[in-house]
Amino acid sequence: MLSQIKDLAETLAPRLIEIRRHIHAHPELSGQEYQTAAYVAGVLSSCGIQVKEAVGKTGVVGNLQGNGSDDRILAIRTDMDALPIQERTNLDFASRKPGIMHACGHDVHTTVGLGVAMVLSQLAEALPGNIRFLFQPAEEIAQGASWMVRDGAMRDVNAIFGVHVFPSIPARSVGIRYGALTAAADDIEIFIQGESGHGARPHEAIDAIWIASQVITALQQAISRTQNPLRPIVLTIGQISGGRAPNVIADQVRMAGTVRSLHPETHANLPQWIEGIVANFCNTYGAKYEMNYRRGVPSVQNDLFLSQILEEASREAWGSDRVQILTEPSLGAEDFSLYLEHAPGSMFRLGVGSGDRLNHPLHHPEFEVDESAILTGVVTLAYAAFKYWKQR
């Protein structure tokens, strides 16, 4: 099966590069992927795949029927949105839309998803179960996955694979991660209400700035003294405002920040734990507080069995020297985690780094990929799909 998949993918490679360049030249912002979605739906239909549009607003779902010997459904998820960045590459196929750019490789993801659909549609009779292709909108604003799930995209799905490009891994290589891949990312906002007074008479006032400074210090210290250091938390207060004049004690402070964590239990307890610290200081010094804790996406926890399938598929396809087992997660966030609330899954990193030129990071206006990665992504996922049914 591997050699058939490789032959098909190699034959399709020039077409896939055309597709990727077309998508790259026509980027669309999160939630506005109308042309991309129509384009994706067109390619899927031309492979004889049953297509549903407008799933999760601008998402597309493709269903590929296998031969029916297994009733399980394997989902393959890719994302389609671009970023509000002015592209500064000199590519022939650079963005034709001012201020919008595929700077996170979602053009490559969409192309890989289409490539897998093209390859597997030609091997459908050998596929035991069904494949559901999820082309998701709005990943960059961490909304698209929840829209797709709400519209039933994960109904009856038994397992899901995802992929994200990674510039620090060389092209033609892949990175496999067991366990936590990305962090849970929540937003926090804290208001502290004291009492204003003369800067020279602190005993007649409740100094909200001083209390806020205590709270920030206490939170950072409490992470190191009360939380398991093997379950990391990063708490960044990125905004703070309060006070009206140098000699007037501030009665109000607003702080806002982001809270990242990797362990699901840690994540579950964060709001209560933070509020306890805020409440203690405010009570001690007579201030009032209000805390708004907005949960973002949870941490992506890659399933061990499915990660193993990805690892074996890529080792067989590319040889062990092109497979990296990633020893560290990232504290970035990825809404792939929302699918994992409905089925186990694994997301791997697709190397797009190029040896002979500077690798700009994701979200950089000069971000470029080595397009040979497309073939690597297509073969890895298509072959892993076959292995999924074989090994269960």
Q: Which is nearer to Ni ion, 62 or 144 (CB)?
A: 144
Q: Which is nearer to Ni ion, 104 or 208 (CB)?
A: 104
Which helix H or strand E contains 378, and what residues bound it?
A: helix 372-390
CA distance 135 to 56: 10
Q: Which is nearer to Ni ion, 82 or 171 (CB)?
A: 82
Q: What is the nearest approach in angstroms of Ni ion to the Cβ of residue 28?
A: 14
Q: What is the nearest approach in angstroms of Ni ion to the Cβ of residue 297?
A: 12
Q: Which is nearer to Ni ion, 104 or 278 (CB)?
A: 104
Q: Which is nearer to Ni ion, 26 or 106 (CB)?
A: 106
Binding of residue 49 to Ni ion (CB under 5 A): no
Q: Length of the chain, please?
A: 392
Q: What is the nearest approach in angstroms of Ni ion to the Cβ of residue 347?
A: 11
- What residues numbered 88-117 form the site for Ni ion, per CB under 5 A? 104
Q: What is the nearest approach in angstroms of Ni ion to the Cβ of residue 110?
A: 11
CA distance 39 to 29: 15
In 3D, which of 30, 329, 341, 313 has the Cα closest to residue 160? 341
Which helix H or strand E contains 36, and what residues bound it?
A: helix 34-46
Q: What is the nearest approach in angstroms of Ni ion to the Cβ of residue 103?
A: 9
CB 39 within 8 A of CB 80: no
Q: What is the nearest approach in angstroms of Ni ion to the Cβ of residue 106?
A: 6
| The two three-digit tokens of residue 140, written as one number | 């960059």
Which helix H or strand E contains 19, and what residues bound it?
A: helix 2-25
In 3D, which of 60, 17, 58 has the Cα closest to residue 141? 58
Alpha helices, DSSP H, located in 51-200: 106-121, 144-150
The DSSP secondary structure of 38-60, one letter per residue, reads HHHHHHHHHTT-EEEEEETTTEE
Interface with Ni ion (CB under 5 A), residue total 1
Q: What is the nearest approach in angstroms of Ni ion to the Cβ of residue 363?
A: 8
| The two three-digit tokens of residue 80, written as one number | 């389609």
153 class by beta-carbon count within 10 Å (0-12 exposed, 13-18 middle, 19+ buried): buried
- What residues numbered 137-156 form the site for Ni ion, per CB under 5 A? none
Q: Which is nearer to Ni ion, 104 or 255 (CB)?
A: 104
- What residues numbered 295-354 form the site for Ni ion, per CB under 5 A? none
Q: Which is nearer to Ni ion, 110 or 158 (CB)?
A: 110
The residue number whose beta carbon is nearest to Ni ion equals 104
Q: List residues binding Ni ion (CB under 5 A).
A: 104
